[in-house]
Amino acid sequence: MASKAAYKRLTKEYVNMQKEPPPFVWAIPDEKNILTWNYIIRGPPDSPFAGGEYHGVLMFPSEYPFKPPGIKMYTPSGRFQPDKKICFSMSDFHPGSWNPAWSVATILTGLLSFMLSDELTTGSVTSSDSDKRAYAARSHAWNLSQRKFREAFPEFCTPNPRDLPNMGEKERGKPPAPETTNTSPSVSASPAPTGSQVSHRTNAVLLDATASQSGRASSAVQPSQGGDKPKGTGAGWADAWRQIIWEKWRWGLLIALAVIVSRVSSSN
């Protein structure tokens, strides 16, 4: 049974997950036990897991957030052993490195990053990129055959994999668009990027998008400053003179008003 602190914290995290879901992951608590969360990870583009749909579970202790959860992945992925606890820095294999500030979103984002790496640990397996792609292609059909998945995610039991609330379009600096995964010949020839490589690539895309937006803003301002100047020169001088005259009259009116008030006060 969840402690009061665990229940309050996990309830808050569910609300936050609904408002700001992290890229390529989604999770919901079990209706009967808030300490058990089912999650889905979608394979990011430009990785051997592209197009894959991976179902797993987070098992929180009653002492959460002061102790870390156990983590399993059910769907065969070529990266983790199905239905076996996964050892990494945010799991219950490493209580000493656990940070109570970490959340469900943090854990799943870390798990995705760890999944994209090649580090071997308890619960992991070794496979080729082609094997991972084969698992990814079969993952949704495998999930549909599993009662746990159907009960946890009935809305995702569609003929084709359904997009998660956040498929990483914003993080990659582009609007939602039909997936073009594995259309480049270089994808199959190059090794899967690690979590840090994916992060660097995302940051570069965002910087490029920001720079292009700044350029568009500058170009939009320039014509009004240069091209329209001859046409509006007379109006500009008239506005300047009106401003000067108003400033002088304003101060004159204020001084006159002060004199009138002073005389009225002295006569009384």
Enumerate the domain spans of the chain: 4-173
Query: Tens of pLDDT along 200-229?
Result: 443 333 333 333 333 433 333 333 344 444
C-alpha atoms less than 13 angstroms from C-alpha of 10 in its C-beta half-sphere: 28
Query: Tens of pLDDT along 52-105?
Result: 999 999 999 999 999 999 999 999 999 999 999 999 999 999 999 999 999 999
Per-residue pLDDT at 136: 98
Domain 4-173, CATH homologous superfamily name and number = Ubiquitin Conjugating Enzyme (3.10.110.10)
**Residue 161 Cα distances to 25, 132, 139, 142, 184, angstroms:** 14, 17, 9, 11, 22
Per-residue pLDDT at 251: 58
pTM equals: 0.66
Give the other-Cβ count within 10 Å of 132's Cβ.
Answer: 21
User: Given CA atoms 97, 99, 105, 109 in this order, what sign does their dihedral have?
Assistant: negative
Catalytic option among 87, 105, 144, 187:
87
Among candidate residues 104, 36, 33, 42, the one with its CA nearest the CA of residue 75: 42
pLDDT score of 162 more than 50: yes
Query: Tens of pLDDT along 33-51?
Result: 999 999 999 999 999 999 9
Per-residue pLDDT at 8: 97
Q: Let me know if 157 is a catalytic residue.
A: no
Cα–Cα dist 40/33, whole Å: 18
- The amino acid at residue 163 is D
Residues above pLDDT 70, as percent of the chain: 63
Per-residue pLDDT at 169: 76
Query: Tens of pLDDT along 165-202?
Result: 999 876 666 555 454 444 333 333 334 334 444 434 43
For tokens 């108003």, the residue is 246
Whether 69 and 89 have beta carbons less than 8 Å apart is answered as no
Classify residue 95 by its DSSP letter.
Answer: G
Query: Average pLDDT of 12-32?
Result: 96
C-alpha atoms less than 13 angstroms from C-alpha of 184 in its C-beta half-sphere: 10
Per-residue pLDDT at 267: 56
Q: Report the SS3 class of residue 56.
A: strand
The pLDDT mean for the chain works out to 78
